A and B are shown apart, each in its own frame.
Chain A
Amino acid sequence: MPFDSETASLAVPPTIEVQDLWLRYRSSQEATLKRTLVGMTQRRKVTRYVEALRGVSFTVQRGSVCGVIGRNGAGKSTLFRTICGILTPSEGRVVVRGHVTPLFSLGIGFNRELTGRENVLLGGLAMGLAPEEVQEQYQAIVAFAELADAIDYPMRTYSSGMSARLGFAVAVHLDPEIVLIDEALAAGDARFKKKSSDKISELCERDCTVMIITHGVRIISSLADRCLWLDKGRVMAEGPAPDVVDAYLRFEGVLDEATAAEDM
């Protein structure tokens, strides 16, 4: 409902505001002694830059769900990392009003020598929560991850599915204000996949602000209010989800929606 969100924007400032965002990586040629010396004598700039984001602007309103689509390498993940504060913009501005929980960190991965329990605590603290807040959700996290007794064993003894489930459980239970979800969270077996996509739908229905990256357009059409389409670091379109998804599919030449949905 575009009209509604327009009215809302007059009253409350948007939760996420991105203005003319540029992000450059230095292309990672190994800095060997030889290269450094050669670089010095040649007086020629050897450093090349990769532009992952080129002047991206958009806003996300409080409580809305915004899908992000685009090809591989379009800059979707880079955009998320910048919103979380992991990467610093090369140019432009990112304003986030509220606390962001990134949900693309599968496996909390603090330390494999520590038990699942200890990792849950550290993961929560690193995301900026108070110890009591983590404690409150602890039982729910363990139950959701279906780890039972394994929670008190070192994480090095976990299977990759187990650590992925735990990572997902931590992120969704920390009562996020703003959550960024990367499609890669299709973790674990089919049953857990179903469970996690249900949980994502639940998050979307709550009043938290959600941004979600996915290749599956079905999920975007059903969950998202708005959609952002990136290509080669630029915004191709931004607007109501069905319109943007439609434009994207037409552009890619995959009008058959059913085929595209299988992508997920």
Chain B
Amino acid sequence: MYERGSSALRELAGARELLRNLTSRELKVRYKRSTLGFLWTLLNPLLMMAVFTLVFSTAFKTTIEWFPVYFLSGYLPFAFFQASVMIATGSIVGNAGLITKVYFPRAVLPLSVVASQLVHLLLGIGVLLGALVVLDLASDSADFDFVPYLPVLVLAIVLLAAFAMGMALLFSAGNTFLRDIGEFLPVGFLLWFYATPVIYQVDFLPEDWRWVLLLNPLTYYVQLFRDALYDPHWPAPATVAAATVCAAVSLVVGWTLFVRLSERFAKEV
């Protein structure tokens, strides 16, 4: 039972059972009325991979080796981030009925979205790891020895999840006061996708444009996932540092603003 009037963080800790249940509800409801159900979690990234691989091996003639692996190791974290933020953005406004009727720590709404997306990400990564094992055995030219670098993968997942939580809190609170945010997000994320090296490599970009990638936090997270999966090696300290700083800033800013704005949610939704 959560104590009222205690600090916002303690309140959130007290509501972890609610958070856990909301997360599993999120997972259940999403596929409830589709025949393939949970399989879509895995089918979606695989179909995306098929489309991009087809386009990039015919129309664009990519020089990236093992393009499907390169694509998935970048696309899975990006898709996790995008879905987390986009769904979380509507989570406060979308639960207006609840917010005006019951008091509970509001942060459980966006956070349960991120948590459920995290389950999707882990499943996707699990399938990718399986594929890498098979590729490694089947092909002489493939070298996906990711096992010694699993700590890198864990670090990448933890940091990205923290970054996504901060952003989910920020966008969900912001959207309550300025609904235009939700409207802008689809285009915003399209732009963000092309500004992240998911379908290309950093050095494909003209020198003049590299700064965009350096300013984009997702570059560092995608890089970490690639360091763990596509080309297994220990990441550059600068990448880890940048990813950590972005995650910390996102969490602190997102949480602080959310707590401050959440007092007014019931009047705005």
Give A residues with C-beta under 8 Å from B: 25-26, 31, 81, 84-88, 96, 99-100, 102, 104-105, 109-111, 113-114, 118, 121-123, 125-131
Partner pick for B18 among A31, A114, A122, CB 8 A cutoff: A122
The answer for the CA separation of A231 and B138 in the assembled complex, in Å, is 80
Distance between A98 CB and nearest chain B CB, rounded to angstroms: 9
B210 interfacial contact with A, CB 8 Å = no
Interface window among B100-108, B128-136, B194-202, B224-232: B100-108
Given contacts A114-B28, A128-B1, A128-B2, contact A122 B99 (CB under 8 A): no
- The secondary structure that dominates the A interface is loop
B55 interfacial contact with A, CB 8 Å = no
B37 interfacial contact with A, CB 8 Å = no
Return 12 A-B CB contacts under 8 Å, by A number.
A84-B103, A86-B100, A87-B266, A96-B4, A99-B4, A102-B103, A109-B98, A110-B25, A111-B25, A125-B17, A126-B104, A128-B14
- CB pair A121 B21 closer than 8 Å: yes
Interface string of B248-269 (1 = CB under 8 A from A): 0000000000000001101100
Cβ contacts under 8 Å, A125 to chain B? 15, 17-18, 21
- CB pair B25 A122 closer than 8 Å: yes
* CB-nearest residue of chain B to A127: B102
The answer for the CA separation of A8 and B15 in the assembled complex, in Å, is 34
* CB-nearest residue of chain A to B30: A113
B42 interfacial contact with A, CB 8 Å = no
Distance between B72 CB and nearest chain A CB, rounded to angstroms: 30
- CB pair A105 B101 closer than 8 Å: yes
Cβ contacts under 8 Å, B99 to chain A? 86
Given contacts A26-B267, A125-B21, A130-B17, contact A110 B1 (CB under 8 A): no
Distance between B24 CB and nearest chain A CB, rounded to angstroms: 9
- CB pair A25 B4 closer than 8 Å: no
Cβ contacts under 8 Å, A85 to chain B? 4, 103
Interface residues of B in 1-31 (CB under 8 A from A): 1-2, 4, 14-15, 17-18, 21-22, 25, 28-29
- CB pair B1 A109 closer than 8 Å: no
- CB pair B102 A81 closer than 8 Å: no
* CB-nearest residue of chain A to B4: A85
Distance between B220 CB and nearest chain A CB, rounded to angstroms: 36
The answer for the CA separation of A128 and B15 in the assembled complex, in Å, is 7
Partner pick for B104 among A81, A96, A104, A128, CB 8 A cutoff: A128
Distance between B92 CB and nearest chain A CB, rounded to angstroms: 13
Cβ contacts under 8 Å, A25 to chain B? 267
B97 interfacial contact with A, CB 8 Å = yes
If A105-B102, A125-B18 are given as contacts, then 8 extra A-B residue pairs at C-beta distance below 8 Å, sorted by A number, are A86-B101, A102-B101, A104-B101, A109-B101, A110-B98, A111-B25, A111-B29, A123-B102
**Residue from the set A102, A110, A118, A126 with the largest chain B CB neighbour count within 10 Å:** A126
* CB-nearest residue of chain B to A107: B97
The answer for the CA separation of A217 and B101 in the assembled complex, in Å, is 25
Cβ contacts under 8 Å, B29 to chain A? 111, 113-114
B61 interfacial contact with A, CB 8 Å = no
The answer for the CA separation of A118 and B4 in the assembled complex, in Å, is 25
The answer for the CA separation of A174 and B15 in the assembled complex, in Å, is 17
* CB-nearest residue of chain A to B262: A88
Cβ contacts under 8 Å, B267 to chain A? 25-26, 87
Cβ contacts under 8 Å, B25 to chain A? 110-111, 114, 118, 122
- CB pair A122 B103 closer than 8 Å: no
- CB pair A81 B266 closer than 8 Å: yes
- CB pair A88 B263 closer than 8 Å: yes
Distance between B90 CB and nearest chain A CB, rounded to angstroms: 14
Cβ contacts under 8 Å, A105 to chain B? 101-102
